[in-house]
Amino acid sequence: MDNLNSTQNSLVSVHNLTFSRGKKKIFNDISLEFERGKITAIMGPSGTGKTTLLKIIGGQLFPAHGSVTVNGRNVHHLKHDELYALRKRMGMLFQSGALLTDMNVFNNVAFPLREHTQLPESMIRSLVLMKLEAVGLRGARDLMPNELSGGMARRVALARAIALDPMMIMYDEPFTGQDPISMGALVLLIKSLNTTLGLTSIIVSHDVQETAAIADYIYVLSEGKVVGQGTPQEIQKSESEWVQQFMTGAADGPVHFHYPAKEYMDDLLHSEKPLFSRQRPPSDRNAKRRRYS
């Protein structure tokens, strides 16, 4: 009964998702729920496929198994036009901002409005200025993307993401590489946008403090599995070693400091040649050519 309620309440649900890249399983049968109007965070060490998850939810990547439903519709069963119609209601904030480099700030924010609506230019102007005001960059409207700092670029991208008044926003590592001030500004912005616009927010991040401060619910991922979930308080108190290592930032633990390798001594004592005669890295094409010439 509980489960049913949570499904009805959630805007995005991920069921039994499996996704592999090459031989590596990025996600192994995970299920996640993102409730309407809440901020849900997905946390985990780098390389656990957090960005991949956002791309799967946005329909840019296809899972091997499992389903993703957004607002009651299975993203990966939609036709091209239906998917695009759904995406108009999903905002996404890329890590790099992904601003169009040949347009200034104003035109970047106006871009989705001009592409998707027939609004008169005067109304587009008011809308863009309102969105820019919300992120505090109304005065920067004439700057080009290369004149913006990283934090400003991300805020412009945020203004662009809310330009079409979406029902949800996905944030890809919004805090990475930000100085404390712009970090604080972004934390505040994400929280206030969520409450004032009634958005559903999905944050993918490994910045523990900032994310825990604004998230309503947190999933901790590691090696393709959900290793912990709950409210920030529950997560802090979690007994799982994985979660504890992640939240406290210990260098070694269930997630090893070392990338899997052969025995250290073996590696040092043997020269490269015999090691590479059997398994050559695929990039080393010249070595192959030399052998057959």
- Chain residues binding other proteins by CB under 8 A are 55, 58, 60, 84-88, 90-92, 94-96, 98-101, 111-112, 115-116, 157, 160, 164, 288, 292
Nearer CB in complex with other proteins: 195/277: 277
Residues 222, 26: contact at Cβ < 8 Å? no
Nearer CB in complex with other proteins: 131/160: 160
Give the Cβ contact number of residue 111 at 10 Å.
16
Q: Quick check: helix, strand or coil at residue 17?
A: strand
Return the amino acid letter for 81: D
Nearest approach, Cβ of residue 59 and other proteins (Å): 9
- Cβ contacts of residue 31 below 8 Å, gap of 6+? 13, 14, 15, 16, 17, 66, 226
Nearest approach, Cβ of residue 75 and other proteins (Å): 12
Q: Is the dihedral of CA 135, 199, 35, 173 positive or negative?
A: negative
Give the bridge partners for 192, in sequence order.
none
Nearer CB in complex with other proteins: 23/256: 23
Nearest approach, Cβ of residue 111 and other proteins (Å): 7
Nearer CB in complex with other proteins: 94/225: 94
Nearest approach, Cβ of residue 45 and other proteins (Å): 22
Nearest approach, Cβ of residue 96 and other proteins (Å): 5
Dist. CA 2–CA 118, nearest whole Å: 44
Nearer CB in complex with other proteins: 166/232: 166
